[in-house]
């Protein structure tokens, strides 16, 4: 069984990461604004499936693989950091728009919506870093089965992430209208997103090797 401090710790990490604009948020908001809440929720189901894939991998001990092969972990860090920096540039570059004012997307069928949500999450470097580097640090081998602890911690992260992303999906239209009527707020939101992404990129790049139990 996980400790209360581990539960609260991973919940705080999950909340901080889901509130940081990234691929999942951008895709879900874009889809919700352009195709409606139903499309956003179907896409969110695909994102949830991606979380499950990472959760199973974490429970199977994927972090131990990166501990044995540090070069693989370093490569993942650098690729993830570079991707986050690219997202930061996309946010602050001249002519860029805010997350809640996305470009028009083609109307997709439910199966494609689900698949795109799944793929977006699987290729999201923030989630990879979370499960490979951060989650293992909350596992305490002295408290019992490591796989069970990883599952419980991962489920905590999933509940937090889906709850917050669900609110984004349901409120995307209202937020987009709010920002559309207030260009200054939209500009602030865009630069804030770029700053946070850049900071996360630096933190990811300078993170130490994963700690395993």
pLDDT tens for 193-205 read 677 767 767 766 7
Residue that has been written with the tokens 């604004």 in this structure: 33
Q: Where are the domains of the chain?
A: 4-205
158 and 60 in contact (C-beta within 8 Å)? no
pTM for the whole thing?
0.69
**In terms of pLDDT, which residue wins out, 141 or 62?**
141
User: For the chain, what percent of residues have pLDDT higher than 90?
Assistant: 19
Average pLDDT over residues 150-157: 92
Q: Would you say residue 191 has pLDDT above 50?
A: yes
The residues, any chain, with a CB within 8 Å of residue 91's CB and separated by 6 or more, are: 21, 99, 190, 191, 193, 194, 197
SS3 133: helix
Q: Tell me the per-residue pLDDT of 51-107, one tens digit each, with 9 for 90 and over.
A: 999 888 877 775 566 567 677 667 766 776 776 677 677 767 776 555 555 555 667
- Report for 79-83, 129-133, 187-191, 202-206: range of highest mean pLDDT: 129-133
DSSP-assigned states of every residue in 38-91: HHHHHHHHHHHHHHHHHHHHHHTTHHHHHHH-HHHHHHHHHHHHHHHHHHHHHH
Residue 13's pLDDT band (cuts 50, 70, 90): confident
Q: Is the dihedral of CA 101, 106, 108, 114 positive or negative?
A: negative
**Whole-number pLDDT of residue 192:** 73
Cite the DSSP H helix spans in the chain. 4-18, 23-35, 37-59, 62-68, 70-92, 110-122, 125-129, 146-181, 183-205
Say what the pLDDT of residue 212 is: 43
- How far, in Å, CA of 66 to CA of 213, rounded? 13
Classify 29 as helix, strand or coil. Answer: helix
């Amino acid at each position: 069984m996980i400790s209360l401090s581990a539960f609260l710790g991973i919940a705080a990490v999950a909340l901080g990461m889901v509130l940081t604009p990234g691929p999942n948020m951008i895709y879900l908001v874009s889809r919700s604004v352009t195709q409606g809440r139903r499309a956003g929720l179907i896409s969110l189901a695909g994102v949830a499936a991606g979380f499950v894939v990472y959760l199973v991998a974490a429970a199977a001990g994927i972090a131990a693989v990166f501990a044995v092969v540090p070069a693989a972990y370093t490569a993942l860090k650098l690729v993830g950091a570079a991707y986050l920096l690219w997202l930061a540039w996309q946010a602050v570059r001249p002519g860029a728009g805010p997350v809640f004012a996305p470009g028009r997307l083609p109307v997709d069928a439910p199966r494609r919506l689900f698949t795109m949500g799944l793929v977006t999450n699987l290729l999201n470097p923030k989630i990879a870093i979370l499960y490979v580097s951060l989650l293992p640090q909350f596992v305490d081998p002295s408290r019992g089965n490591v796989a069970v602890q990883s599952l419980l911690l991962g489920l905590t992260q999933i509940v937090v992430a889906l709850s917050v992303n669900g609110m984004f999906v349901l409120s995307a239209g209202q937020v987009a209208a709010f920002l559309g009527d207030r260009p200054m707020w939209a500009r602030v939101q865009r630069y804030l997103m770029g700053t946070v992404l850049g900071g996360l990129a630096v933190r990811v790049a300078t993170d130490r090797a994963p700690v395993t139990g």
